[in-house]
Structure 1
Amino acid sequence: MRPNHHQFIAFAYVVHEGSFSAAATRMGVTQSTITQHIGNLEKTVGTPLLRRGRDGVELTPTGQEFYDLADRMVSLDAEVSERLEGYNAMKNGRLNVIGNAPQPALRIIATFRQRFPNIQVNFGLYDWSTATNMLRNRMADVGLITDAPVSDAWESVFIESAEYVLYCPNEHPLSAKASVSLKDLREETVIIPERGSLTRKLLENACRTHAISLERTVTMTTFPLMYEAVLQGIGIAVFLCNSSLIKKSVMEIPIREMPQKHETHLIATKDRVGLKLISEFINSVN
């Protein structure tokens, strides 16, 4: 028996929403309908597509292969609906945005929300490796990625470029310097992102290139947490400049061994950029 359109759509929404119940709510059907569609699809394929766990669902390797197809089907469905509904398609909807740096993403989301207040925008901040993998696996509608990898499957729109700087309290001895060397940080407690982040990779590469060892480090998950840690006096941090609008009590100082500019791009899969929801988000860049 061949799988039908409804089974693929239900499967894609379960992955999008993270649970059977949330997918049922989004599609306006009962949870038992979703369960039946997924069960029939797995029976036809001959192997599980999803693992059910306490924290929701995750794809099996076979599930990932079929999810790519199912998500393309959802995108095509959305495009057909938009053409039938016209501009009314922007009166409601949901957009999943991810990024590895907060400031450019939040700025664009703010502009988009001013124009389309009824669209629900979900934003997740992830390390670079996780964010790029989510885009490759079609787990988000749009990504804002610094030093994004090149892919034939993606459309890429330039957002901004920035260099890495040291964030330190105004009263810190290093705050008086016009620039700092990584050597100046050897006796400091340096707050760095978790492994998998672009910042950590570039910082470690620079230290290795210049034979500098940072002995006292504290690892934290996201830039907002790192920034708060600087304000609390836990240490000093390395991150992209202008990553926060909050400038109170903190200096941003260039790092001599890390002068390169790093570009942030808005990324979306090519089959999604024609959707009104995505194209209007891209238009919010300017």
Structure 2
Amino acid sequence: MSLTLARIRAINAVAQNGSYAAAARQLGVSQPTVSQHIREAEALYSVRLFMRRGGALHPTPLCTQLCDIAERMAESEREAERIMTRHATLKDGRITIGLGNSMPGMAVIALFRQRHPGVDIAVETGSHERIIKAVLSRSVDVGVLPDIPRDGRFRAQALVSQEVVAMLHASHPLASRKQLTCAELMRQPLIFRARGSSTQRVVDRAFAHAGLMPKPLLVLDARDAAYEAVANNIGIGFIWRHGTGRHDAVKRVPVAEMNTRYNEVAFALAGETSVVTDAFLAVGADYGRMQEGMA
């Protein structure tokens, strides 16, 4: 025998209502069940929890202390319930989204927010490798990335088809070109991304296929840092064509060896579903159809 959660609930309900009958109605159990919980708790610890005065049960000072704990426990239960149900409702649910690129993920988030304003949205950003791991470890509910592994771990919704392009400062002599080659880029200061970047994987494959081994001027962890380096005319970098919504001093120029297009997708674990995650993927499907219509 012990001071079980059921007994603590019964003690708190009697203290709130002043009778076994009212406590039983509140808890949805029988009156004998409530009175049994009280008797067992008093006998177990040799204490008195209630005094009867004027036909009502009044908590003793000891019982009042116990009820303070019971209230905190009840709040913890309510918080646990909120956590457990936050993925099951679009009224006040929650979703965490992992983005590899700012776009098109942010555009899909904006559309989702318009349709489901009650859902609390959290966003994490990182490399391709980091977002894949975050989805697998369940630290994010949905990832948005290009070129994800094609296996049974994920269910995915295509958003847009795109390729990696070179990004050059608008004043760069090659910025007006229709297309560049890896051989031409070898003669330029290059800005690469660090290991784990989906962009860099495509760039590495393209140079290797051309039989070239470039030595970059800079290797940067963050895509924003690479973008800013190009915006400041430090060198030529690389980006997914629709990887950002920015249109400032940077020009995007296709590269002949990087013309393979990849689907940017919203994806989640295949074996897990929730109302909120399904709604986000549905919005992603609508976004994808809108992009096809604009193509």
Same fold? TM cut 0.5: yes
RMSD: 2.6
Q: Which residue of 2 aligns with 1:94?
A: 94
Distance 1:216 1:149, change over 3 A: closer
Q: Structure 1: where are the runs of 5+ without partners?
A: 1-26, 35-73, 83-88
Q: Which residue of 2 aligns with 1:129?
A: 129
Kept in 2, the 8 Å contact 1:169–1:249? The answer is: yes
Kept in 2, the 8 Å contact 1:159–1:265? The answer is: yes
Kept in 2, the 8 Å contact 1:97–1:124? The answer is: yes
The 5 Å alignment of 1:137-216 reads 137-216=137-216
**What amino acid maps onto 1:242 in structure 2?**
H
SS in 2 for 1:284: helix
Report the CA distance between 1:120 and its aligned residue: 2.0
Q: Which residue of 2 aligns with 1:29?
A: 76
- The alignment status of 1:78 with 2:85, answered yes or no, reads yes
Report the CA distance between 1:263 and its aligned residue: 1.1
**What amino acid maps onto 2:149 in structure 1?**
P
Instruction: Describe the superposition over 1:7-62 as per-residue Cα deviations: whole angstroms up to 9, x where unpaired.
Output: xxxxxxxxxxxxxxxxxxxx9539xx99xxxxxxxxxxxxxxxxxxxxxxxxxxxx
SS in 2 for 1:103: coil
Q: Which residue of 1 aligns with 2:104?
A: 104
Distance 1:216 1:272 in 2: 41
Q: Which residue of 2 aligns with 1:249?
A: 249
Distance 1:153 1:204, change over 3 A: closer
Distance 1:276 1:161 in 2: 26
Q: Structure 2: where are the runs of 5+ without partners?
A: 1-73, 287-295
Q: Which residue of 2 aligns with 1:282?
A: 281
- The alignment status of 1:220 with 2:267, answered yes or no, reads no
Kept in 2, the 8 Å contact 1:187–1:216? The answer is: no
SS in 2 for 1:138: coil
Larger Rg: 2
Percent identity over the alignment is 20
Report the CA distance between 1:166 and its aligned residue: 0.6
Report the CA distance between 1:158 and its aligned residue: 1.2
Kept in 1, the 8 Å contact 2:164–2:254? The answer is: yes
Distance 1:253 1:28, change over 3 A: farther
Distance 1:128 1:198 in 2: 5
Distance 1:267 1:28 in 2: 34
**What amino acid maps onto 2:210 in structure 1?**
H
Report the CA distance between 1:271 and its aligned residue: 4.2
Of 141-150 and 183-192, the range deviating more from structure 2: 183-192
Distance 2:215 2:194 in 1: 16
SS in 2 for 1:242: coil
**What amino acid maps onto 1:131 in structure 2?**
I
SS in 1 for 2:90: helix
**What amino acid maps onto 1:155 in structure 2?**
R
Distance 2:196 2:153 in 1: 23
Kept in 2, the 8 Å contact 1:175–1:251? The answer is: yes
SS in 1 for 2:94: strand
Instruction: Describe the superposition over 1:166-190 as per-residue Cα deviations: whole angstroms up to 9, x where unpaired.
Output: 1101110111211001111223221
Distance 2:224 2:120 in 1: 23
Number of aligned residue pairs: 210
Kept in 1, the 8 Å contact 2:164–2:202? The answer is: no
